[in-house]
Amino acid sequence: MAMTDLLSAEDIKKAVGAFSAAESFNYKKFFEMVGLKNKSPEDVKKVFHILDKDQSGFIEEEELKFVLKGFTPEGRDLSDKETKALLAAGDKDGDGKIGAD
């Protein structure tokens, strides 16, 4: 399954472009811009599984660094600071990874 099976290619392009500058990534705005806020929990889980490159059931810090590339190959890598902020926002139990729930 490709990301564009779930989200609009145009929305992905706009969102990735909006955060192309280093240190500009805002996960709340990004996920809103790509349309995830309007998706069902099932569709959000499908996006999660696409981003979970090693299919471990979790998105670890190393996978988060490349989250924009998970939406489109043209995406940039997140900085360490941006990656840690995204991990902190999604890691509800403090285990250093984000689960699908």
Is 24 annotated as ligand-binding? no
Burial code of 57-95, b = ≥16 C-beta within 10 A, e = fewer?
ebbbeebbbebbbbbbeebbebeeebbebbbeeebeeee
Is 43 annotated as ligand-binding? no
Is 58 annotated as ligand-binding? yes
Is 97 annotated as ligand-binding? yes
What residues form DSSP beta bridges with 98? 59
Is 95 annotated as ligand-binding? yes
Is 56 annotated as ligand-binding? yes
Is 32 annotated as ligand-binding? no
Is 5 annotated as ligand-binding? no
Contacts of 50 (CB under 8 A, 6+ apart): 1, 2, 3, 6, 70
* CA distance linking residue 28 with residue 97, whole number of Å: 18
Q: Which residues are annotated as a binding site?
A: 52, 54, 56, 58, 63, 91, 93, 95, 97
Q: Which residues are annotated as a binding site for Ca(2+)?
A: 52, 54, 56, 58, 63, 91, 93, 95, 97
